Amino acid sequence: MDLPLIYHPDYVVPLPIGHRFPMAKFKNLYDCLLRDGVATIEQFHQPDRPPSPWIELIHDSDYVNAYCTGTLDAKAQRRIGLPWSPALVNRTCTAVGGTILTAQLALKTGLACNTAGGTHHAFPAHGSGFCIFNDLAIAARYLQQIGLVHKVLIVDLDVHQGDGTAFIFQNDESVFTFSMHCEINFPGTKQKSDLDVPLRAGMEDDEYLQTLDRYLPDLLTHVKPDLVLYDAGIDPHLDDRLGKLNLTDTGLYRREMQVLTTCLSLGCPVACVIGGGYSEDMNALVYRHSLLHRAASNVYRQYRL
């Protein structure tokens, strides 16, 4: 069996012209993986839209209902930063289903990658920073509820702290949250993860990877997770509009290889989501996201032999 990949055409919905969220990247990533021979069409799995009770394992039912019915107040909508539409509701829920499916397949095969996901700024009762429902948290809790996992480790390497995820699991020993992020970046008010590693602005490849190596192997040994949920945000890149770190393409690829190899070598299955990435150059942005899937394909072949 080849590396499982997850995509749905509903990952892309129309946004107003000039909107700064790069919605087209999800379909472009899917096309890139096929065009470059990183994946074949047979590797892709389509998620189902999860029912509201799954989402309400994490999110307040009033918030879920208000968002899904378009009755969320204007201030809360502005905090999210995406204009409401029925299509966006479907897209949001389908992407959550994608991360759940990614996690289920990772438990079966050892490794799986979504082509979306990483909405780590979503809190139980509100969204923020382009994040509406927290797919990482929902996937972790759903898999726990159905008995597939007990202990989950969330490795969040997006350049922004996973504040929503940290808040959700702040008093929950069954989910360990690890966020390595730029210390002076959004969100202005940080939450307390189980392990936060704030990074100085301008950090480059080698220092970043050495820092990660100081924490991740020991963390895996200590937590002993049944599953790792990996948020592989590419916004630490030096050309990212919202980043403030200075990683190169090579640095991002080395990071993905480091994370995946470390986890799989210790017997920890990994479900990957793509996280944030913001650039005017769509082709460059999509290529950077594809580095996760390129690295995962190499690591998967290595550990399946």
pLDDT digits (tens, 9 = 90+) for 60-74: 999 999 999 999 999
pLDDT grade for 1, boundaries at 50, 70 and 90: confident
**Mean pLDDT value across residues 270-275:** 98
The region of weakest confidence among 19-23, 120-124, 163-167, 258-262 is: 19-23
Predicted pLDDT of residue 94: 98
Is residue 280 over pLDDT 90?
A: no
| Secondary structure E strands in 152-264 | 152-156, 175-182, 195-199, 227-231
| CB-CB neighbours of 78 under 10 Å | 10
- Quote the CA–CA distance of 230 and 135 in Å, as a whole number: 12
Average pLDDT over residues 104-120: 98
CB-based contacts of 258, cutoff 8 Å, min separation 6? 209, 212, 213, 216
Per-residue pLDDT tens for 131-190?
A: 999 999 999 999 999 999 999 999 999 999 999 999 999 999 999 999 999 999 889 899
Q: Which domain holds residue 71?
A: 5-12+21-304
Residue type, 298: N
CB atoms within 10 A of CB 13: 17
Per-residue tokens: 304:
């399946």
Q: What is the mean pLDDT of residues 31-39?
A: 98
Average pLDDT over residues 234-256: 96
What's the confidence (pLDDT) of residue 162?
Answer: 97
How much of the chain exceeds pLDDT 70, in percent? 100
Predicted confidence (pLDDT) at residue 207 exceeds the cutoff of 80:
yes
* Model pTM above 0.85: yes
> What would the two tokens of residue 259 be?
């994370």
Q: What is the model's pLDDT at position 305?
A: 53
**Helices 205-223 & 249-265, crossing angle to 10 degrees?**
20
HSE of 182, CA atoms in CB hemisphere, 13 A:
25
303 confidence band (pLDDT: 50, 70, 90): confident
Residue 294's pLDDT band, with cuts at 50, 70 and 90, is very high
pLDDT at 127: 98
| CATH at 93 | 3.40.800.20
**Average confidence score pLDDT of the chain:** 97
Q: What is the mean pLDDT of residues 231-246?
A: 95
Edge-to-edge, what's the strand order for the sheet holding 44-45? Answer: 44-45, 5-6, 111-114, 270-273, 227-231, 152-156, 175-182, 195-199
Task: Note if 59 is an active site residue.
Answer: no
Residue of 8, 59, 120, 121 marked active site? 121
Q: How many domains does the chain contain in total?
A: 1
**Token couple for 186:** 């959004």
pLDDT, position 205: 98
| Mean predicted confidence (pLDDT) in 2-22 | 96
